[in-house]
């Protein structure tokens, strides 16, 4: 696939995805990461929250994990949704590629772009979406 930023590709990604690791999850309802995680869970995705400061707590029917390495390979994570600054994305993508054998998509949220991380993921055959939000794209493309 190409950069995965056209509507057809984004719809395909949202349709095939089943399990999402959401990096940067916040338990504060006013935060975008909380709202997006709740929206995705409401749409039927399994959302595994990732936040070292909240590890061990429960959210969305899941135990919050400290890092992507703490998610068992058997969880079947096929997308990582990243709520981190652009300059903090590369280590997240490295960990995702190393620890998530079913990974198909790296999704960087609105305002988040990292060309090196994109190249790293694409070199492993993983689709990349940058500077988009699934909470915006889902209703627009799927309904």
pLDDT in tens, 16-59: 999 999 999 999 999 999 999 999 999 999 999 999 999 999 99
110 inside domain: yes
User: What pLDDT, on a 0 to 100 scale, did the predictor assign at position 143?
Assistant: 87
Q: Which domain holds residue 34?
A: 7-135
| 95-111: average pLDDT | 97
What is the count of structural domains for the chain? 1
Task: Please check the confidence at residue 2 and state whether its pLDDT lies above 60.
Answer: no
2 inside domain: no
User: What pLDDT, on a 0 to 100 scale, did the predictor assign at position 126?
Assistant: 97
DSSP of 20-61, one letter per residue?
EEEET--S-TTSHHHHHHHHHHHTT-EEEEE-GGGTT-EETT
Q: In degrees rounded to 5, what are phi and psi of residue 65?
A: -105, 155
CATH code at position 99? 3.40.50.720
For the entire predicted model, the pTM comes to 0.95
b/e sequence 54-93, b meaning 16+ C-beta within 10 Å: beeeebbebebbebbeebeeeeebbbbbbbbebeebeebb
User: What pLDDT, on a 0 to 100 scale, did the predictor assign at position 80?
Assistant: 98
């Amino acid at each position: 696939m190409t950069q995965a930023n056209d509507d057809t590709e984004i719809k395909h990604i949202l349709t095939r995805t089943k399990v999402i690791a959401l990096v940067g999850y916040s338990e504060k309802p006013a935060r975008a990461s909380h709202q997006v995680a709740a929206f995705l869970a409401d749409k039927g995705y399994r959302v595994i929250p990732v936040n070292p400061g909240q590890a061990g707590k429960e959210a969305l029917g899941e135990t919050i994990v400290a890092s992507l390495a703490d998610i068992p390979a058997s969880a079947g994570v096929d997308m990582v949704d990243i709520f981190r600054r652009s300059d903090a994305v590369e280590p997240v993508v490295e960990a995702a590629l190393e620890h998530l054998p079913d990974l198909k998509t790296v999704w960087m949220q609105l305002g988040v772009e990292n060309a090196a991380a994109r190249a790293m993921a694409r070199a492993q055959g993983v689709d990349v979406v940058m500077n988009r939000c699934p909470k915006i794209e889902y209703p627009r493309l799927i309904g």
